[in-house]
Structure 1
């Protein structure tokens, strides 16, 4: 509490000219905001760069002034200009004992530098020292830098201290320590393979923030090897149940949804652990069903959680009640006036494409999405219809695909649609007459965009017949082909 009061006093000094920004800096911000063109803005920033280059090397600069110069350097880089001449001064500021200056220095270096920058070596010792500080705010600042700047070569230098901080009394430090270890895992999995067990322990941390942060590295680990973490299924289900039942502090609610981002991450993890595993999935059914019942469909975040529920249900061992609940939510998405919800419905239905009874149930609603003015939604719908097509619905779907193809002007995309229509017609055509009619439509509206082999195959089918000893059937086929071609030519000449 005393440390927070100190920061408060220092920040308050800003309004009194202590650690605040000068009128010169405020005028700079104002002039850039009022710039009428990019050229004018660049001229102002370039003048500022020249000013900073002169002033930052002056002797005996007061600390409050150097802090302002560092902030002005951040502003310069934020606007797309190079401020590398001042990086070393940001590094030096991380060494300062004053908390506000130190945090400013750490903020600057994490924004200025990347993990392979030559100056990184100059702050490793400072980070090591600050990780041992009695001031938890200093430790947090150092951990922020660890998450951004530590590379493969410097991981061993700080790893033992970061692991020790997992037991720190302050939850903010424990959370950042977990995040730092996750960063190490992403950068160099082999360097932290011996401390992976710590993630298992921290998922049971008393603080929901620490637990939530631990879900991220565990998700990555489970993605690589789910079998090793099957024993955690009951723990994950228990945590998710506590979240759904609103046992977490109210601070974790978002738009009246209990810890939705933790719910989403847990559902992703359960989807991996329950995939093809009936025993593991059975532990999940009740809590996933509760989410379907309790989720608020009127909010975006509620719909996001429901979407993740559908993805989870599609991945774990099938359960009829959950599949029905998922189908009901998909129907609501598809009937919505919102393009975003329709898109979610299309994508969610794509997750359940292996369940033909659910796909058929929503076929007409999906086809109607091809009439939507949103191009992204139409493309997503087209991809789903392609996956849904079979012998019983090929006529309806391909006809609508051709209508969709006619409505677009992008030749590259039109070529793709024509190719898919031909592929589906060849694979699922209910009869040769329909196949010929469909091919003629494709040629009429896609023309040279269609592969020449398709025309060759169509002519060969017409010439050779259906390959049976039935001359009348072959004659009927050829007659139908001629009639269709005549109709196509008539329509083309009518256009001229």
Structure 2
């Protein structure tokens, strides 16, 4: 009978393996599941043996990836079978099919307990294994005392006791109250005297969890851990089965050293001496060999020993030995060893006494910067950054600049920012600093944050001796045929302010400076045009002798932009034209910018706030995160003393609204010379710092929350260009929200901004800041919600529920009910786009702070254009596709009236910002635009979308648009979103304007020209 039953399982497995395709396999699985369901439903007298046979098949089907939605009760019932074969199947299948919260598990608690307290060791092992894998809180409350008795029992075999230790570890993680620290201290010490290494290893895992929760009660375990390490280091009484490639129980060594890292220090001199002797033996006895498995084991022990050495702050001699050993490792061929060597050497930098020793390996570290593995390159960059000081700054910065040209795009932003920080922090003289920053902008303009060139302007403005040199260098870079737009900005600004100092140099007359700068104007964006207009006004102001020809040229430029659709450009042009006709008064109005007040650099402050953690902090944080929840909690280490600490993310504090004297004159000069005044809410300016450091990467630059509108693919001209985004992309209604706590900033504007970029602040109030960082790949998206508690008290009753539209599949990780003081919680959100739609998901978020209950409903920027990717097509590719999509519903055409007047360039920038690439030259009519994009969804997959916009030069308020794709729903949705972007809505229905006051626009983070106001 047994043979025939197992033969049935073997035949089923053979049938599955012989299937030619997935469809055949599914049909065979469905047939078998139907047969099993019938047996379980109809045959009331199914024996334990028959249940075992069918349950084995269910487990095999589950392992193939198919859902098994029935038969769970039959699997659980086998746990109570009297014979081992059936009981074994019951335990195994229950462990695989059910989780700790399944209701059926409650039915098995008594049976599992009977097996644990019984005399049959085999049954005990099965029961302990089940509880150790899927035991939950109910199991911990019912079974913990019995498991503890088994663990401490001297009559039980080691096989049972080591399973009991791991089972108790599971129960402790689910309910820490089951292990009383006071009562378990002596028991834990007793367990560490165990001679059997299996029981000892399992007990050490339990100890690591206990001391991570509360180390104070377990000081008596420290000498025992040291004795275990001594025993293993001397290879005393270590059975052969616990020796791995000649290394005595490496797992136990690692766990023992990890447990010791939870204790602040070891005061007893004898214990400390014995421990350092063991660590010395490990350091001396570890080397790189050819056997990979032995390397893995020995290096696991070694690097845990290094972490313990750093934690205990060992003597300088041992530290030097550690650095020398790591120096060998970063030179070997094995990439994993090089990575670990660089990472641990970076941690060693926290010990100031060994920095000089680490510098001896500088050449090898620089070589690692060119390693094929990007993770090694990143660690080498971190190490070079950390080891840099006055003595080697020049060499390291030059190496970073040289490496910048060939570095991965993923590293260039971090690389450029670190090079800028090092150049500022350790510059031997300011002219060298200017050289470095200009080289940086020249080589990696796209990856240089605006704060870097803002800082150069600060230095040059505050140091008169530096101004002629900086002007000369800026003039030299403008001679290049192709320079980055950021270089145009900084050069134009410096020459506008200080170009008159070069008047006697060849090629530096006002007219020559204007011509060389004006050559760049057709290729730059709106924000840069604003700076160039200011520069032209400054050139006029600084002219010693009037030049009518130059004056007329500059006036012509101002006249041209007087009718610009962009309010900022239009305002500058009108005001500069009027000011430039005031004659001698112009010099007073457009006077030189005053010096900046002395303050700590935001870049250096950022560097100080992102120093490498100690080994102890890293280990404790990591383990705490692993044992709590799926959401990552990062605690702010800054003291909560009632004074808001200086935020690491702003270059310069925005001036307060109450200013007098020089400060007011400086702001007036700002509004006239640079044309922009940064405007912030007084509550915003004095609020706590941004807690979303992780949101923008390790060294990103932030400022006050504003309304960025520029994407990396194009610039949306003016505030009005995105005023319709709220209607085009955010169709899900959000109820009126009445809370006692009012939000900081405009929620709708924050949403609009995030529709065009992938990271930023979604919501903020005095208690919490919610940020978003997203990554979009095809029809899949991964978004991380950053919940930052800004207060010194906890936020309680935290709840976050996603209300998804039908076209999106969303899965939000568990959000903890409490956010600790000044802590940040990261909650991943997985997104799948099922089909095209303009609806958006809504986040229903609530929390309690003190007596205030706050509830907000926020739109999630998982909008249509996030699932588009820019692509360019040639005429040979475009026209066959265009012709093949003939007529409705795949090709829709509509005459649109009431269009916002804009030039073709501005319209092209608008489309590009929404990932609809305008392809020049495809349409012979110069008044028409042709654009294309690729849309991704689960139903359409990668689908090409084409559109044509036909404009009327005589009437810019109307156009005809044609949209085509291979999916009718996609064509309609795309047509509607394009229409809503182009149509000028009535004033009564428009979203709040992004620049509320035309005379003093709000600073825009993505507008570097506007952010220059924040420098002052």
When the two structures are superposed, what TM-score results if normalisation uses the length of structure 1? 0.87
The range that moved more, 419-428 or 238-247, is 419-428
Per-residue deviation, 1:325: 2.8
- Call closer, same or farther: CA 1:450–1:296 in 2, change over 3 Å: closer
String of CA shifts for 1:144-173, please: whole Å, max 9, x gaps: 122123322332221221121120421111
Whether the aligned pair in 1 keeps the contact of 2:192 and 2:221 (CA below 8 Å) is no
Is the CA contact 1:394–1:428 (under 8 Å) kept in the aligned structure 2? yes
CA contact (8 A) 1:52 1:69 kept: yes
Give the Cα–Cα distance (whole angstroms) in 2 for the partners of residues 160 and 232 of structure 1. 22
Task: Report the counterpart of residue 299 of structure 2 in structure 1.
Answer: 303
Residues 1:438 and 1:140: Cα distance change in structure 2 (over 3 Å): same
Q: Per-residue CA shift, 1:421-442, capped at 9, x if unaligned?
A: 2222222222222211221122
The one of 122, 127, 132 equivalent to 2:117 is 132
Instruction: Give the Å deviation of 1:35.
Output: 4.6
Q: Secondary structure at the match of 1:115?
A: coil
Q: Distance between the aligned counterparts of 2:341 and 2:21, measured in 1?
A: 43
Q: Distance in 2 between matches of 1:313 and 1:403?
A: 36
Please name the residue that 1:217 is paired with: 206
Residue of structure 2 aligned with 1:273, choices 263, 268, 278? 263
Separation in structure 1 between the aligned mates of residue 233 and residue 20 of structure 2, nearest angstrom? 51
Which runs of structure 2 are paired with 1:326-341 in the superposition (5 Å)?
A: 326-341=322-337
2:329–2:338 Cα contact (<8 Å) kept: yes
Q: Give unmatched runs, 5+ long, in structure 1.
A: 1-16
Displacement of 1:317 in angstroms is 2.7
Do the aligned residues in 2 keep the contact of 1:103 with 1:141 (CA within 8 Å)? Answer: yes
Q: Which residue of 2 aligns with 1:90?
A: 75
Aligned counterpart, 1:122: 107
What does 1:12-411 correspond to in 2, within 5 Å? 18=2, 22-35=6-19, 37-57=21-41, 58-166=43-151, 167=153, 168-193=155-180, 195-197=183-185, 198-247=187-236, 248-273=238-263, 275=265, 279=269, 281-295=272-286, 297-298=288-289, 299-300=294-295, 301-354=297-350, 355-410=354-409
- Distance across 2 between alignment mates of 1:20 and 1:322: 67
- Per-residue CA deviations over 1:104-148 (Å, capped at 9, x if unaligned) read 211111111111111111000101111121111111111112212
> 1:481/1:492 Cα in 2 relative to 1: closer, same or farther (>3 Å)?
closer
> How far apart are the structure 1 equivalents of 2:397 and 2:285?
39
1:12 corresponds to: none
Query: Offset of 1:93 from its aligned partner?
Result: 0.3
Greater RCO between the two (CA within 8 Å, min separation 6)?
2
Higher helix fraction (1 or 2): 1
**Conserved in 1, the CA contact under 8 Å of 2:253 and 2:301?**
yes
Equivalent residues of 1:270, 1:284 under 8 A apart: no
SS at match of 1:376: helix
Cα distance, 1:282 vs. partner? Answer: 3.2
**Aligned counterparts of 1:189 and 1:359: Cα–Cα separation in 2:** 43
Per-residue deviation at 1:258?
0.9
Unaligned runs of 5+ in 2: 485-1016
From the superposition, tell whether residues 407 and 296 of structure 1 become closer, same or farther in structure 2 (CA, over 3 Å). Answer: closer
Whether the 8 Å CA contact 1:152–1:187 is kept in 2: the answer is yes
Of the two, which has the highest radius of gyration?
Answer: 2
Distance 2:35 2:382 in 1: 56
Deviations 1:317-374 (A, max 9, x none): 3123422332232122111111111111111212211231332132221111111111
Going from structure 1 to structure 2, the CA distance change for 1:21 and 1:482 (only over 3 Å counts) comes to farther
CA deviations over 1:252-310 (Å, ceiling 9, x no partner): 01112111111111122233336485846433111111122334532321122222222
- Native 8 Å contact 1:433 1:480 kept in 2: no
Which one is further off, 365-374 or 293-302? 293-302
User: 2-side partners of 1:474 and 1:454: how far apart?
Assistant: 17
CA distance 1:227–1:389, change in 2 (3 Å)? farther
Distance in 2, matches of 1:421 and 1:453, equals: 13
Which shifted more, 115-124 or 393-402? Answer: 393-402
In structure 2, relative to structure 1, the CA distance for the partners of 1:80 and 1:95 (3 Å cut) is same
Post-superposition offset of 1:187? 0.8
Instruction: Please give the alpha-carbon distance, in whole angstroms, between the structure 1 residues aligned to 2:4 and 2:117.
Output: 29
Equivalent pairs counted in the alignment come to: 469
Alpha-carbon distance in structure 1 between the residues aligned to 2:35 and 2:422: 67
Q: Distance in 2 between matches of 1:124 and 1:294?
A: 49
Q: CA deviation at 1:444?
A: 1.5
* Greater mean alpha carbon deviation, residues 442-451 or residues 251-260: 442-451
Aligned-partner Cα distance in 1 for 2:424–2:20: 60
Q: SS where residue 405 of structure 2 aligns?
A: helix
Distance 1:255 1:296, change over 3 A: farther
Q: CA RMSD in A?
A: 2.5
Q: CA deviation at 1:204?
A: 1.5
Match of 1:466 among 463, 469, 494: 463
Deviates most, 143-152 or 28-37: 28-37
- In 1, distance between residues paired with 2:189 and 2:266? 23
Conservation of the 8 A alpha-carbon contact between 1:436 and 1:481:
no
Q: Deviations over 1:50-87 (max 9, x none)?
A: 23222333343343332121111111111222213011
Native 8 Å contact 1:114 1:148 kept in 2:
no
| Distance in 2 between residues matched to 1:174 and 1:339, nearest whole Å | 40
